[in-house]
Structure 1
Amino acid sequence: MHPESQTTRNVSSLKPNDGWRVWWMLLRPHTLTAAFVPVMIGTLLALLENSLHIGLFLAMLLASILIQSATNMFNEYFDYKRGLDTKESVGIGGAIVRNGIKPKTVLYLGFSFFGISIILGVYICLLSSWWIAVVGLICMAAGYFYTGGPIPIAYTPFGELMSGFFMGVIIILISFFIQTGTITFTTVLHSIPIAITIAAILLANNIRDLDGDKKNGRKTLAILIGRQKAITLLAGMFITAYLFVLFMILFGYTTWWSFLVLLSIPKATFAVKQFIGKTKPIEMMPAMKATAETNTLFGFLLSIGLIIQFITL
């Protein structure tokens, strides 16, 4: 369901971890803001409609984070089963091959997270609509089949589209719907730039892993269009996200406070520049990290703009 399921093998540490850090890194914490930000955006948009149920917000937030984490677990497990992860793999993935965690433990932990999410989903449905259960199950299926199943989504050019759609669009719309009982065009518009920045995380991941993915038979978007065009596409995605916020401001779908997202431009610029001329995965780690941080900053700054908009109503 989510960017990595967003499935990055990546960002913070190249050294084996021990103790609780093994489990923390197994969650791929840099991807979790991509679970938090959409829920926050959807809930804040509901707040602007004078509708807020704290219990629903917390349940949705936890369920979203758990589904994201479960997806990362499945990614870890299936990358191991298919021989993609080795002790030399770059990033924070590979807990099975580097830290000795049993594969079945990782798989069962992922399903356990799904189980808790289902319980939270029942609570959400009881207070909103049982249609949420249908959408939630589809999201979980997307998370599992991102790297699981006979033809994993991660092996196709549709990874960015799927991650951006489910995480950036669907989660925002669900978060808004459970609070208000409806969907508005404004909410859909706000989900688009978030979807783009979430998809950018996966594109950056695939640029970094291009050579290894190609060797292992993947046909990601980065592989199909080539490294240089993929970097250009990444830059274009960032530009589109910022221009879309300008569009919403000019046409009255949000206030000028949303232009706070411009403060994240230096991070986006740094991410793109750090990819240029690099071919080794370890050289592209700063670019990968900066891309994830751009999504985080963009989302939080947009959230701050919405909070200010609510306060000044």
Structure 2
Amino acid sequence: MTEVETSRTKAWLMAARPQTLPAAAAPVIVGTGLAVHEEVFALLPAVMAFVGAALIQIGTNFANDYYDAIKGADTEDREGFTRVTQAGIISPEQVKLATIVTFALAILSGTYLVYVGGVPILAIGLVSVLCGWAYTGGPYPLGYHGLGDLFVFVFFGIVAVMGTFYVQATAVLAEPLTTTVPAGTVTLAAFVASLPVAAISTCIIIVNNVRDRETDAEAGKRTLAVRLGYRWSRIEFVALLALAYLAPLWFWPISGEFGPAVLLPLVTLPYAAVIARTVCTRTGGEALNPALEGTGKLLALYAVLFAVGLSI
């Protein structure tokens, strides 16, 4: 591979932002852990759920790179990771095309999940792709109006975990191409299990937006961090972490259907506290870029431990 090809590959990796993929993998891991416990585990639907989630995540990253650049939200003063469109590394037209192709692949990969999960998955999949594009694109970009946190909490948390559990349970309990929601495929346990993933995934966005608060405000990008300010953004961050670490208590001892192993994620609490301290005391990219990566690692580690605890 030539030097040009190598740099080109690195540029596309920068645009795809693989460090954000824990946000795609975590809900699949947790939803699968619950499916194992409920004896409805199905390998192929689980794998395809991850493929679809990863493509939506990457497509959203491409869209953010493109739209933030053309709208002027990404400037040279930004302290975050390099954005390839703003930096002139890849042309806007190519990044826009990559966005379209990636979302198209997400829809294509979802056809199997629609076969398994029927009409409910079709609706959820299309809305997820639409919102991924609308995070920074379209006439009312969610991220520019303080709705980005809510989007991540709902789609990369609640919908992703419950959807992962749903497609596996449906594959085991129902006939293909169902037009209804079969019994036992949407449960309270799946909803509660989704809350920690939703919370920590949203924490990733909070760190990103706290870091970029000043430049976003200058560019007219009214993220929730811009609207709330540093103090309340930090309160939001800590409150979501609290939700993540309280949720396992519902499974044990409250529900009585799971064992104490479900509390395994609590071993990550000291690591979460270190990240929270940084977020609550720093604003610059020098500190918050590592905190952003750390929050992604926290999400991945939490998800694995939680899935193990659920499945035992």
Say whether residues 1:241 and 2:244 are aligned partners: yes
Partner of 2:28: 39
Partner of 1:158: 147
Say whether residues 1:196 and 2:199 are aligned partners: yes
In the alignment, is the contact (CA less than 8 A) between 1:86 and 1:94 conserved in 2?
no
TM-score by length of 2: 0.88
Taking the aligned partners of 2:226 and 2:86, their CA distance within structure 1 comes to 26
Taking the aligned partners of 1:279 and 1:33, their CA distance within structure 2 comes to 23
Q: CA deviation at 1:235?
A: 1.6
Taking the aligned partners of 1:140 and 1:101, their CA distance within structure 2 comes to 23
Say whether residues 1:147 and 2:136 are aligned partners: yes
Moved more, 181-190 or 246-255: 246-255
| Percent identity of paired positions between Structure 1 and Structure 2 | 28
Say whether residues 1:133 and 2:122 are aligned partners: yes
Question: Which residue among 212, 220, 225 is the counterpart of 1:222?
Answer: 225
In the alignment, is the contact (CA less than 8 A) between 1:201 and 1:288 conserved in 2?
yes
Moved more, 159-168 or 275-284: 275-284
Letter in 1 for 2:265: V
Say whether residues 1:262 and 2:266 are aligned partners: yes
Q: CA deviation at 1:247?
A: 3.0
Taking the aligned partners of 1:208 and 1:55, their CA distance within structure 2 comes to 39
TM-score by length of 1: 0.88
Q: CA deviation at 1:51?
A: 1.8
1:288-299 matches, cutoff 5 A: 288-299=292-303
Question: Which residue among 38, 51, 54 is the counterpart of 2:43?
Answer: 54
Partner of 1:8: none
Q: CA deviation at 1:39?
A: 1.2
1:1-313 matches, cutoff 5 A: 18-98=7-87, 100-181=89-170, 182-252=185-255, 254-307=258-311, 309=312
Structure 2 stretches of 5 or more lacking a match?
1-5, 171-184
Deviation per residue, 1:172-223 (Å, 9 max, x gap): 1111111112211111111111111111111111111111111111222222
Taking the aligned partners of 2:16 and 2:42, their CA distance within structure 1 comes to 28
RMSD (CA atoms): 1.8
Taking the aligned partners of 1:292 and 1:108, their CA distance within structure 2 comes to 27
Taking the aligned partners of 1:29 and 1:149, their CA distance within structure 2 comes to 24
Q: CA deviation at 1:255?
A: 2.5
Matched position secondary structure for 1:279: coil
In the alignment, is the contact (CA less than 8 A) between 1:208 and 1:288 conserved in 2?
no
Greater than 4 Å deviation, 4+ residue runs: none
Q: How many residues align?
A: 292
Q: CA deviation at 1:87?
A: 4.3
Letter in 1 for 2:302: F
Letter in 1 for 2:237: L
Q: CA deviation at 1:88?
A: 4.7
In the alignment, is the contact (CA less than 8 A) between 1:76 and 1:93 conserved in 2?
no
